[in-house]
Amino acid sequence: MALLLKEEDVRALLAMPLALELIEEASRRQAAGQVPLHSRQRLELPEKVFLHYMAAGDPARGYMGMKLYTSVRGALRFLVPLYSAKNGQLLALLEADYLGQMRTGAASGVATKYLARPDARAVGIVGTGLQARTQLEAIVAVRRIESIRAFGRNPDRREQFCAEMSKRLGVSVLSARSAEEVVRDADIVVTATTASFPVVQGKWLAPGTHINAIGANFPQKRELDGEAVQRADTLVVDSLEQSKVEAGDLIQTLGNDAARWSAVRELPEIVVGKTVGRTGAREITLFKSNGIAIWDVAVAARVYELAAQRQMGQRIPLGEHCG
């Protein structure tokens, strides 16, 4: 019988240290060519109704699965079906809103670990939604952060975010009056917005900055202007194939220039040392995160294992019959 895991089950089992470990391990398998990966596909219906789906196999751990989600007028609903890679059995269905927030934050944490300066102490974040929370949680886990500035368009939500995250992280999170105030002099910059047009300008970036840009995964959307991308000495993505389709920040700057795209590196190759990341204290590094299915599958698999061990979730009679 398959195991149904609700949001509350996932929250009880998944903490950031575990998510960071799982994403880094999955990156190593991805770099070794052990992860079949299908980029995100989108089925669009009238009135901006979307069904999104992406898939990955993790044969080394014995799993394969998908992330499915809908976005309808701003409302998103996430689900991960997890299968055995040995016999095709449906093992689990996981509600995956929190799982998605955690794996996205953890991926930025891994990128920060390998690309930010070791002495990075100040973070600036543009965006104060749910994704912003796990971004900060992951960064604080991999660097000794001493100060954080946050900007979001809604002043009340921004103040609430700063108060909540200061308490959660044990680091002062201060409210900023503009995105520029957030970015200038930050060692690490995060963009976690739903913006269609740039919220960060390259001229604001100090030498040595590391950027995690996570919000835009449509080709027509971007959070960074062209100068921000052009100033980056090192451009890093989670999947080059997927980035060429949906990383608007890069697509709108690099265009169809094959030579410029050839300089873009994949994070897994940096994790295993196949290629270098940061090589100097004054370099600007950029991680453009789109989100890939192996992150969902790897995290979902471990959550499933923990739930089975602890007898959590609900057993449901699905996928028991085969033709």
> Which segments of 32-154 does DSSP mark as H helices, in order?
97-115, 130-142
CB atoms within 10 A of CB 205: 23
Given a cut of 90, whether residue 208 has pLDDT beyond it is yes
Give yes or no: 244 in active site.
no
Catalytic residue from among 67, 113, 221, 288: 67
pLDDT of residue 293: 98
pLDDT of residue 185: 87
Proportion of the chain above pLDDT 70, given as a percent: 98
**CA–CA separation, 167 vs 36, rounded Å?**
40
pLDDT tens digits for range 164-188: 999 999 999 999 999 999 999 899 9
Q: pLDDT confidence of 267, banded at 50, 70, 90?
A: very high
pLDDT of residue 321: 67
Given a cut of 80, whether residue 233 has pLDDT beyond it is yes
Residue 110 tokens read as 């891994």
Q: Which residues pair with 234 in a beta bridge?
A: 285
Residue 17 tokens read as 């240290």
- Write down all domains in the chain, each with its CATH number in brackets: 2-100+293-316 (3.30.1780.10), 117-288 (3.40.50.720)
Buried-exposed string 112-131: b where 16+ CB fall within 10 A, e elsewhere: bbbbbbeebebbbbbbbbeb
| Of 190, 49, 194, 184, residue with least CA distance to 126 | 190
| Of 77, 4, 1, residue with least CA distance to 307 | 4
Residue 9: partners with Cβ closer than 8 Å, 6 or more residues away: 303, 307, 312, 313
**CA–CA separation, 68 vs 51, rounded Å?**
7
* Mean pLDDT computed over every residue of the chain: 96
Q: What is the DSSP letter of 116?
A: S
pLDDT of residue 278: 94
Given a cut of 80, whether residue 320 has pLDDT beyond it is no
Given a cut of 80, whether residue 319 has pLDDT beyond it is no
Residue 58: partners with Cβ closer than 8 Å, 6 or more residues away: 26, 29, 34, 35, 64, 85, 294, 297, 298, 301
Given a cut of 90, whether residue 9 has pLDDT beyond it is yes
For the entire predicted model, the pTM comes to: 0.96
**CA–CA separation, 173 vs 5, rounded Å?**
33
Q: Are 290 and 243 in contact (CB under 8 A)?
A: yes
